[in-house]
Amino acid sequence: MLWPGTIIGAGAGYALANIPGALLGALLGQVIDRRLKLRNWAYLRERLGGRAAIHDADLLFVLLGRLAKSEGRVVPSHIHQARNEMDRLRFNEAERLRAIEAFNRGRDGKEGLRGYLRSLRSEPETGEALLRACWRMAWADGKVARIEQEMIAAWGQWLGWSPVRMQTLAAEYDPMKRNRVSASDEYQQALTLLGVEADADQKSVKRAYRRLLSRHHPDKLEGAGASSMRVREATEKTRELHSAYALIKTRRGFR
């Protein structure tokens, strides 16, 4: 005698066997996402391996911890820089404790990071903020080791950045190259940030500025339920937009 559940199970097994592999994979993926509320397969691998998934709020400090330990040991300048990042994000005491745990987790270096970073390709501002913080950490001890360069290059690749773009970002944090940045370079960076050409008229520049300001406005993101870290990143981006717009206005004589 078969229990009703057995009959249903057998029927389901027959049905599954007749579903094409690609379609079955898609269906299972949807079920996993709904049931476990996973963001990507990296989270699933962590859970199956008995480790807690890395949450978005912790990923930055996991990366920083990994960088700090890349040459074998964490030095005081690395700890100081991690605290600077907490100050930069205006963390409260609870957030600082969580960041310290994430930093230590990254220092242990047991998790793969590819899946987490690839999942951020649709959030370019967050990816850029992560890479900038990583370069600040890499330079915390006054030099950047080859292994640090290679790690950040790999992370940038997983985030979808081109090698040229990665080199441009790296140059911003290299003291030797940064000191050679001229006023014209700063002006070009401001144009690039706003996404406008050098010959754009005042109306076009202002429109681009306002569009980006609206997209990155902290209050708007907070109202949409964004994480506190995402809101703080947007606050920093807003400051950069203000500075870029002010520089372009001064250079072009706009009011």
Q: Can you give the pLDDT of all 255 residues of the chain as single tens digits?
A: 333 333 334 444 444 444 454 444 444 444 434 433 444 444 444 444 445 677 777 899 999 999 999 999 999 999 999 999 999 888 999 999 999 999 999 998 877 899 999 998 988 888 988 999 999 999 999 999 999 999 999 999 999 999 988 988 898 888 776 655 555 678 888 888 888 888 889 999 999 999 988 887 878 777 777 777 677 777 888 888 888 899 898 888 887
| Angle, CA of 26, 31 and 32, to the nearest 5° | 95
| Residue-level pLDDT at 57 | 76
pLDDT digits (tens, 9 = 90+) for 128-160: 889 999 999 999 999 999 999 999 999 999 999
Domain boundaries, the chain: 24-52, 56-178, 183-252
The label of the residue with tokens 């220092």 reads 107
| Residue-level pLDDT at 15 | 45
- The domain defined by 56-178 carries CATH number 1.10.3680: yes
| Residue-level pLDDT at 131 | 94
Q: Are 68 and 107 in contact (CB under 8 A)?
A: yes
Percent of the chain at pLDDT exceeding 90:
37
Q: Kindly tell me the burial class for residue 161, based on how many C-beta atoms sit within 10 Å of its own C-beta (0-12, 13-18, 19 or more).
A: buried
| Residue-level pLDDT at 140 | 93
Structure tokens at 78: 């690395």
**3 state SS for the chain:** CCCHHHHHHHHHHHHHHCCCHHHHHHHHHHHHHHHHCCCCHHHHHHHHCCCCCCCHHHHHHHHHHHHHCCCCCCCHHHHHHHHHHHHHCCCCHHHHHHHHHHHHHHHHCCCCCHHHHHCCCCCHHHHHHHHHHHHHHHCCCCCCCHHHHHHHHHHHHHCCCCHHHHHHHHHHHCHHHHCCCCHHHHHHHHHHHHCCCCCCCHHHHHHHHHHHHHHHCHHHHHHCCCCHHHHHHHHHHHHHHHHHHHHHHHHHCCC
| Residue-level pLDDT at 180 | 54
| Residue-level pLDDT at 49 | 45
Question: Residues near 3 by Cβ (< 8 Å), separated by ≥ 6?
Answer: none
Q: How far is the C-alpha of 115 from the C-alpha of 247, rounded, in Å?
A: 38
| Residue-level pLDDT at 166 | 92
Residue 126: name the closest of 62, 196, 216, 245 by CA. 216
Q: Are 196 and 207 in contact (CB under 8 A)?
A: no
Q: Are 232 and 253 in contact (CB under 8 A)?
A: no
Angle in degrees, 0-180, between the axes of helices 21-36 and 41-48, rounded to the nearest 10: 70
The label of the residue with tokens 């992370």 reads 155
Structure tokens at 185: 């370079």
Q: Please provide the CATH number assigned to the domain covering 183-252.
A: 1.10.287
| Residue-level pLDDT at 183 | 59
Determine phi and psi for 122, rounding to 5 degrees. Answer: -85, 0
Is pTM, for the whole model, over 0.85? no
